[in-house]
């Protein structure tokens, strides 16, 4: 798979070819279990953007933004049923696992979650 200036040069050299042919000629092809060809358009376009200086970066959970959805906003809303949802990306950042327990501490218009057996101090 071509990257960087090699990728840009190849795209320029190929000129007016189909998108499929462009992806194929730049090496963004893999073979499926049944032996058929799979064109990796996403990887090609990400490499092309990178070669042109567009940095896709990664979110704070370490995933590339192309695979993780939108950027974390550090805010949430009460859902229609009254639940307050904290998404998977946040729990992953803290390395929380299913079954981890928290004590709910209520203050004036605030909620703090403190790990059971942990301290109430902020890290």
Give 61's pLDDT tier (boundaries 50, 70, 90). Answer: very low
Q: DSSP string covering 31-98, please? A: E-TTS-EEE-HHHHHHHHHHHTT----B-TTS-BHHHH-SPP-S---B-TTS-B---HHHHHHTT--T
CA 119 – CA 17 distance, rounded (Å): 62
Give 22's pLDDT tier (boundaries 50, 70, 90). Answer: very high
Q: Looking at the whole model, is its pTM more than 0.75?
A: no
Q: What pLDDT sits at residue 59?
A: 47
Q: What pLDDT sits at residue 25?
A: 92
């Amino acid at each position: 798979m071509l990257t960087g200036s090699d990728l840009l040069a190849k795209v320029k050299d190929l000129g007016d070819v189909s998108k499929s042919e462009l992806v194929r000629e730049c090496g963004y092809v893999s073979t499926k279990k049944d032996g058929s060809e799979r064109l990796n358009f996403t990887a090609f376009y990400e490499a092309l953007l990178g070669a042109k200086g567009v940095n896709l970066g990664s979110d704070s959970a370490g995933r590339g933004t192309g695979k993780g959805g939108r950027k974390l906003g550090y805010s949430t809303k009460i859902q229609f049923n009254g639940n307050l949802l904290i998404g998977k990306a946040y729990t992953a950042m803290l390395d929380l696992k299913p079954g981890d327990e928290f004590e709910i501490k209520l203050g004036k218009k605030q909620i703090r979650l403190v790990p059971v057996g942990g301290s109430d101090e902020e890290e």
